[in-house]
Amino acid sequence: MPSLRELIRNTWCKKQSYPGNRNLLCLFVVGRTSSAFSSDMLKEAKKYGDIKLTPFVEDVGNSSLKLIAAFKWIKTNCPDVKYVMRTQDDVIVNMDKLMNSLLISAPSSGFMMGKCREEIPNRNPYSRYYVPLDIYPGEKYPPVCSNMGYIMSVDVVNMIYQESSKQVMIPLDDVFIGVIMESRKMVPQSMDKLIHTKSIGPTARTRYKICSHFIIHIHVNTEESAREIWQVMRDKCNGS
């Protein structure tokens, strides 16, 4: 959504330089909603230069295609990148906390971290998360990291991009990544405190939850509330 992209640009993705000559780049990966992108979308992409337009319809069933397109873009355009985070536009990320604590000690290779768990495939053909047996016959998925936010070293990103063409495409990107990781006998690290998945407001009672997590889900919150959560992160959490 344009309003959420603007919110991100003006909050947690506004600061792009960190100590140690480290830089941050945010990239919005966008699918089309009709046969062509709107003129407003094309203008926004040209204005900011931070949007990757993909030819896929904006739908959960195309999330894997969009993600692999993003990984290809990273491989081509970011040769010196060390870590990549996949997240969504309905979250607020404490980038100071992430950059100055977690990523300081994170392994430089073979690294993937998220809020991960094993899940059972949805076999309901009327569900948007439906995965038929001919695409994934297993009774349960390998560890799946929530696509609200997971972090990978760039070698893992490149591996997933290379392996994606050898695997049966599973439409759900978090599951597809989990299957590829398992095929390479790699297990992501799970960290419960990485993401607070339930929407919360910026109150005195929720300050601990805001400050103790790296990523806060804002799905049902207003943009005003999201900005207030960001201000708590910036002014009260002190990046710790």
* Domain residue ranges in the chain: 2-191
In this model, does residue 13 exceed pLDDT 90?
Answer: yes
In the predicted model, is pLDDT for residue 148 greater than 50? yes
DSSP letters spanning 15-65: --EETTTEE----EEEEESSSS--HHHHHHHHHHS-EEEEEEESSGGGHHH
Has residue 162 got a pLDDT over 80?
yes
Q: How confident is the model at residue 199 (pLDDT cuts 50, 70, 90)?
A: confident
pLDDT category of residue 220 using cuts at 50, 70 and 90: low
Tokens of 96: 């100071």
Question: For residue 18, what pLDDT band results from cuts at 50, 70 and 90?
Answer: very high
For residues 215 and 55, give the distance between their C-alpha atoms in angstroms, rounded to a whole number.
29
Burial class (CB in 10 A: 0-12, 13-18, 19+), 10: exposed
Task: Tell how far CA 15 is from the center of its chain.
Answer: 18
Burial class from Cβ neighbours inside 10 Å (0-12, 13-18, 19+) for residue 225 reads middle
**pTM across the whole model:** 0.92
- Rounded CA-CA distance 129/136 in Å is 13
DSSP string covering 156-168, please? HHHHHHHHHTTSP
Encode pLDDT of 48-63 as tens digits. Answer: 999 999 999 999 999 9
Calculate the alpha carbon distances from 195 to 36, 157, 199 in Å.
34, 21, 11
Q: Is the pLDDT of residue 239 over 50?
A: no
Using the predicted structure, report yes or no on whether residue 19 has a pLDDT greater than 70.
yes
Mean pLDDT (whole number) for 146-157 = 96
User: The tokens 């339930």 sit on which residue?
Assistant: 198
pLDDT > 70? residue 89: yes
Least confident of 62-71, 110-119, 218-227: 218-227
pLDDT at 185: 96
> Given a cut of 70, is residue 231 above it in pLDDT?
yes
Higher local confidence (pLDDT), 176 or 225 = 176
CATH 3.90.550.50 fits 2-191, yes or no: yes
User: Do 67 and 54 meet the contact criterion of CB atoms below 8 Å apart?
Assistant: no
Contact indicator for 168, 135 with CB cutoff of 8 Å = yes
- Helices 2-10 and 39-48, axial angle in degrees (round to 10): 10
Contacts of 54 by beta carbon, 8 Å cutoff, 6+ apart: 29, 30, 31, 32, 65, 66, 69
